Amino acid sequence: MTPPVPRPGILDIQPYVGGGHEADGAERVVVLSANETPLGPSPESVRAYAALSTALHRYPDGDCAALREAIAIRFGLSAARIVCGSGSDELIALLIKSYAGPGDEVLHSRHGFLMYPISARACGATPVAAPEANYTVDVDAMLSCVSARTRMVFVANPNNPTGSYISTDELHRLRDGLPDEVLLVIDSAYAEYVSRNDYSAGAGMVEAGDNVVMTRTFSKIFGLAALRLGWAYCPPAVADVLNRVRGPFNVTAPAQTAGIAALGDLAHVERARAHNDVWLPWLAEQVTALGLVAHPSVGNFLLVRFADADAAAAAYAALLKDGFIARAMGGYGLPECLRITIGLEDEMRGLVASLARHLGADRDRS
Ligand SMILES: Cc1ncc(COP(=O)(O)O)c(C=O)c1O
């Protein structure tokens, strides 16, 4: 019997390995591996979610009309240009499915978010990784990788896992250097954490033309990762395309109602941002004092570089033993690094103490 054969490219996919959530034997488990907010969801979201529990037999609003309206009001955007999805992962996949296929190239930066190459391969397209400069998107290198087969360019801004970002001017320079028919996708999953004058999430660039899309998520600062909720801000023609290819009920009703409530709780988001503004620089300072390299980050996570891959693996294991789950970076081609999400104060202090113990013990041995 001949077994069914998947389309070319599918078996080249290295399945995405998410951040771990378990540390066997540890008294207390601190998950710092998935860039989730340590403050949890807004109590307003929890209430809205719970209130829906007796209406689970009803299909959700397939248009996400109220949610799109709430997003539009909150961010000063046009609701008609918003398409919601089951996490921004789904929107990334739908965009690639719609605009690239076999023979086409999807460009991303060397240490860009892994779902770009994965989703490209799933559609039979070829992912192309452009070199970075100092773990940051290099616009010139990106442009030099554009070929006649390039259909889409993805920039995570800020980028996961490096934490780096490029300025609005650099984003414009990238757009201006790309052929008009190439779609630029600006993935601004961590936009709410950034407070830099030269940064913008990309909505203005979307509105200025017909070849830029911005994706956003409720998984990070809004604390709704479990519900899978993201949105794309699109030129009208791209929104039309996404609305044709998406499932008719691709966003659940609990996700919609919790998302609307989250948008209304400005204080909760402000608390998360203020917390990050304190503990991100604190963690960077502490790991630097331990002799490690902290890559400058504007997200809610820090990429920490060790002497080599073995040192990073040993630190990962030592942290895990103490219950701290960091994110190993081998899948991103950065085996000498760990990515650490900003947690609560005692979690950050505990993590640094654990790391210091490990590195101290290491030093004593050598
Ligand atoms: C840069 C970036 N884009 C998109 C996503 C996907 O987020 P979502 O939970 O909305 O699918 C992530 C998640 O970690 C991310 O880091």
**Span 191-222, pLDDT tens digits:** 999 999 999 999 999 999 999 999 999 999 99
- What pLDDT is stored for residue 26 in this prediction? 76
Q: Is 308 exposed, middle or buried (0-12, 13-18, 19+ CB in 10 A)?
A: exposed
Q: 37 and 221 in contact (C-beta within 8 Å)?
A: yes
> What is the per-residue pLDDT for 169?
98
The DSSP H or E segment spanning 221 is none
The pLDDT, as a whole number, for residue 193 is 98
Tell me, what's the pLDDT at 364?
61
- The H or E element spanning position 111 is none
Q: Which helix (H) or strand (E) holds 263?
A: helix 253-264
| Residue found under tokens 């630029």 | 184
3-class SS of residue 230: strand
Distance 89 CA to ligand 1 centre (A): 6
pLDDT of residue 8: 84
End-to-end, the C-alpha distance of the chain in Å comes to 59
Q: With CA atoms as reference, report the closest residue to 363 among 311, 322, 320.
A: 311
Cα–Cα distance between 176 and 169 in angstroms, integer?
Answer: 10
Q: How far is the CA of 52 from the centre of ligand 1 (A)?
A: 26
Token representation of residue 228? 């899978």
What is the whole-number distance in angstroms between the Cα of residue 2 and the centre of ligand 1?
A: 38
- Ligand 1 environment, Cβ below 6 A: 35, 87-89, 113, 156, 160, 187, 189, 217, 219, 225, 230
Q: In the chain, which residues have pLDDT < 70? A: 361-366
Helices and strands of the chain, counted as H and E runs: 12, 15
Of 88, 91, 82, 122, nearest to 106 by C-alpha is 122
For residue 329, which of 88, 135, 101 has the smallest C-alpha distance?
A: 135
* Closest atom of ligand 1 to CA, residue 156: 1
**Six-digit token string for 109:** 């930066």
Provide the whole-model pTM.
0.96
